[in-house]
Amino acid sequence: MIFKRVGDGRPYPEHGLSSRDWAAIPPSQVRLDQLVTTKDTLHLVALLDEDSTFFGDLFAHVVSWEGDLYLEDGLHRALRAALHQRNVLHARVHEMTSTG
């Protein structure tokens, strides 16, 4: 299994982070098998598009909440890493508490 679990939606409350807020979080390595996805489908064109990160963040966005790491943005990056036999992904991890 590539991921810890395949989810469908975000179980955590809205965090309200803007693109600028995400950019302020330094990237770190996250193991793919520790991630829970927040999407259960992927558009193949996003996976195969070499320019898919041109207008977005170069790093995936992960929310740490109640002991799990949720892959909020960057599913195609994570799958590309897995296809290249890599076990880790560089991501920005937002530590979220139950109160936000």
pLDDT along the chain (100 residues), means of 10: 91 93 96 94 69 67 96 90 94 84
Q: State residue 59's pLDDT score.
A: 93
Q: State residue 99's pLDDT score.
A: 60
Going through the chain in order, the beta strands assigned E by DSSP cover 5-6, 27-31, 35-37, 60-65, 68-73, 88-95
Report how many helices (DSSP H) and strands (DSSP E) the chain contains, helices first. 3, 6
Whole-angstrom CA distances from 42 to 6, 48, 49, 97, 98 are: 12, 11, 12, 28, 29
Q: State residue 40's pLDDT score.
A: 85
Q: State residue 17's pLDDT score.
A: 95
Q: State residue 80's pLDDT score.
A: 87
- Residue among 36, 19, 45 nearest 78 (CA): 36
One-letter amino acid at 76 equals H
Total residues found in the chain within this entry: 100
